[in-house]
Structure 1
C-alpha cells in the first residue's frame, strides 16, 4: 500500500454498510460508463450511507464519448459510490449518463456546442445551483479546479476538491494561500510538490472498473502503442523515434485539440510518412481493450509533470507493459520491473525495450487489480467523506445572501 493511501483496516470501517441484489444498467449506460453490473456487497460495520454531490466539468459529458480523463474518472467514481450504497447526485452536462441523480447544468457538453465561446458563465450557473442545494448533501466533491473556492469557503469542511491538473503554475500558489481551509485531494504525491503548504486531505490514485478492459496475455499485434493526446508535452516524436530505433511498428490512437493543430502540422505530421507508423485517430473506450491488449507495450514518453496518466493503468488493466519517462506521477504508477520501466532519456528507453517485452503480463494485470480499481478509489474517497462528515456533520442551511456576503468579504480581505 502506498504510504499516502489508507490502510485496509481503516477502509473496512469506512465502506458503506449495504447489501442489495445485483442490478444491470441499460446497454447505453454500460457502454459509456464501463459498469455492467452493480452489487452492493461491502460491509462497513455500521457507517451510514451518505448524500454526496459530485460536481463535474462541463466541457465533456460524464462519461465522455472519447477523450476526457477527468470526466471519465468522475463517472467511474460516481457509479461505484452508487454501487456501494451512497445517495449520489451528479452535476454535469445534460448529455451525461449516470445511475446517480443527474442535475443538468447545460444542454450538452460545451465542447460539442459551437455556440459556446466562453465556458465560465456555465460554470457560474452550475455553482449557483450547487450553492442553493448544498444543504441537501453531506459532502460536496468538486472536480472543477478552483472556481468554487470563494463561494463555498463558509462550508469548506464539508467539501472535497480533487485536483486533476498540473499545479506547478506560479499563480496557483497565491490561490491556495488565499483559501487554506479548502480541503484538497491530490491524484499523486508528485502533484503536490509545487504546493506543499496546501491543505491536502490525502492522495487518492485513479481507478478503473475491474472488468472495463479484458487482459491479453498472448498479444499478436506485434506493435508498440501510443494513446492519448497529441501535444508538445506528450512527446509523440519520442515514441516514433523509439519505435523506429527498435524496429517495431507504432500505432497511434490520439486526438488533436484545436490549440495543438499547428504543432501537429509542423512537428508530427511530417513524421507520419509510413515506415511502420500508423495514425489511427481518437478511439472510444470500447476499442481500447483490443488496441492496448494486442500491443507489445505502451510508450508514455512525456516531458511534463503529468499529475497521473490514466493511460498507464488502462494499459496495465490489459496486461500490457508500460515504458514511461521519469516525469510527474510515472514513478508512482509504474512498479519498475513489474508493470513496466521508468527511463530518463531516449537511449535508455531503446535499451530497455527487450526487458520490457519480457515482463509477465499476468503480474501486470494483478498489479492493476491490487492498486488501481475503481472500488479501491471509491473506498479511499469514502474515507475522506467520512472524515469531513464526522468532523462537521450535515451541511447547514445557509442563506444565499450569507454565502455571497462571505465570498465578497473573502475577496476584499
Structure 2
C-alpha cells in the first residue's frame, strides 16, 4: 500500500518541542514504515523520517518568520495533490484546507480531525462530508453534523516514555500556557496542597502568562522551565508525582495526558471533553469538577498503581495500537472507495 502522510508545516515533523499535530503525523508515518508500508511524508525539508520525505519549504513557518504561512501552506498542499495519483491513500493531518482539493483527485483521502479550532470551519467539512473519510481522535470530539469512518486515539512511542515507579514530590503542568489549558488553576491547586509545581510549555498567550503565571514563579514553589524538548519532557513527566490538567475547554485528546500515564504518572484533570476516554477515574488518575476537587484528589494519588497507569496507556495509546487501527481504516476505505486495482499490494 502506498500512503502519503500530509503533515502541517508550522514546525518540523517530528517537532523539536511543541507541535502536537506534527508529532502525531510523525508517529503514524514511522509506525506505517515499520509495518512494511510504502510511506511518503509531506512535511518540512528538515523533517526526519524512515520513509520518503517530500517538501517544498526547508523549515516550518513558526520557526522562520520570513515565511508567509498561507503561501507555503498552499504550495505544500498542492505539491502533494499534483501527484495524488501515485498513492493509494492520502492521510491528511492538515485540517480542512486539503479537503478543497479532494473533488479534483481520484485518490481517497482520510482526514484525521485534530479538533475544531472554531465552528467557522465546519462548512468545509460539511461540504465534503459524503465524499471524504473523517477520523475523530476521541468520541467526545465528534460533530453531530459530520459522518465518521472511525475513531482512532493518538498513539505515542512507548520507548520514549520509560516507566518510573519512584516519582519525585512535585506536581506538573505540561502544555500550552493559555487560559484553555488552565495554568492559573494548576498554580491554585498546587498552592492549596502546598506542593511544588513545575510548569513546562509554550507561552501562547503572553498577557495571560504575565498576569496569571509570572507573578507566582519564584524558582522554588513554582518553577517555569520553558518549552521543553523530548528529553526534558520524558524526565518531567516520568518523575512527577501527578500531572495537573485543569482544562477549561472540551479538549479533543491531550497528548500529555497519555504521555504521563505511559510513564506511570497519574493525571488529575477537569472532567471535560475527551478526559473520561483517556483517564480511568480512580485507577489512572482522577476526573474532577474544579480546583477544590483537584486539590482533594492530590491527597489520594498515592493509592494509584503507577504500573497500572503504564499498562492502561500501552494498551490504549501506543503507536502500534494507533497504526493497527489506521491500517484497518485504510483497508475499509479502499474497499468502499475502489475495491479493485489498488497498486502496491
Residue 194 of structure 2 corresponds to residue 247 of structure 1: yes
* 147-156 or 124-133: bigger deviation: 147-156
Aligned residue number for residue 266 of structure 1: 211
Aligned residue number for residue 150 of structure 2: 202
1:177 to 126, 132, 148: 126
**2-structure distance, mates of 1:103, 1:186:** 26
**1-structure distance, mates of 2:56, 2:240:** 39
Residue 177 of structure 2 corresponds to residue 230 of structure 1: yes
**2-structure distance, mates of 1:156, 1:146:** 18
Gaps of 5+ in 2: none
Check conservation: 1:191, 1:329, Cα contact below 8 A. Answer: yes
* Pairing 1:144-223 to 2, within 5 Å after superposition: 144-155=94-105, 158-166=108-116, 169-180=118-129, 181-192=131-142, 195-219=143-167, 221-223=168-170
TM superposition shift of 1:127: 2.0
**2-structure distance, mates of 1:371, 1:140:** 25
* Pairing 1:96-175 to 2, within 5 Å after superposition: 96-116=47-67, 118-155=68-105, 158-166=108-116, 169-175=118-124
* 107-116 or 140-149: bigger deviation: 107-116
TM-score by length of 1: 0.79
Aligned residue number for residue 303 of structure 1: 248
Distance 1:96 1:274, change over 3 A: closer
Q: CA deviation digits over 1:60-118, x for unaligned, max 9?
A: 010000011111111111001000000000000001010010001211111111212x3
Residue 343 of structure 2 corresponds to residue 392 of structure 1: no
TM-score by length of 2: 0.95
TM superposition shift of 1:224: 0.5
Distance 1:394 1:284, change over 3 A: farther
Check conservation: 2:84, 2:107, Cα contact below 8 A. Answer: no
Aligned residue number for residue 10 of structure 1: none
TM superposition shift of 1:58: 0.4
Check conservation: 1:253, 1:283, Cα contact below 8 A. Answer: yes
Check conservation: 1:138, 1:393, Cα contact below 8 A. Answer: no
Check conservation: 1:182, 1:199, Cα contact below 8 A. Answer: no
Q: CA deviation digits over 1:146-169, x for unaligned, max 9?
A: 1111211244771100011236x3
CA RMSD of aligned residues (A): 1.8
Aligned residue number for residue 35 of structure 2: 84
TM superposition shift of 1:179: 1.7
2:320 to 372, 375, 394: 375
**1-structure distance, mates of 2:70, 2:339:** 29
**1-structure distance, mates of 2:293, 2:267:** 14
Residue 263 of structure 2 corresponds to residue 318 of structure 1: yes
Check conservation: 2:266, 2:285, Cα contact below 8 A. Answer: yes
Residue 32 of structure 2 corresponds to residue 69 of structure 1: no
Distance 1:52 1:326, change over 3 A: same
TM superposition shift of 1:356: 2.1
Moved over 4 A (4+): 154-157
Q: Which has the larger radius of gyration?
A: 1
Residue 5 of structure 2 corresponds to residue 58 of structure 1: no
**1-structure distance, mates of 2:61, 2:340:** 30
**1-structure distance, mates of 2:183, 2:77:** 37
**2-structure distance, mates of 1:344, 1:65:** 34
TM superposition shift of 1:235: 1.1
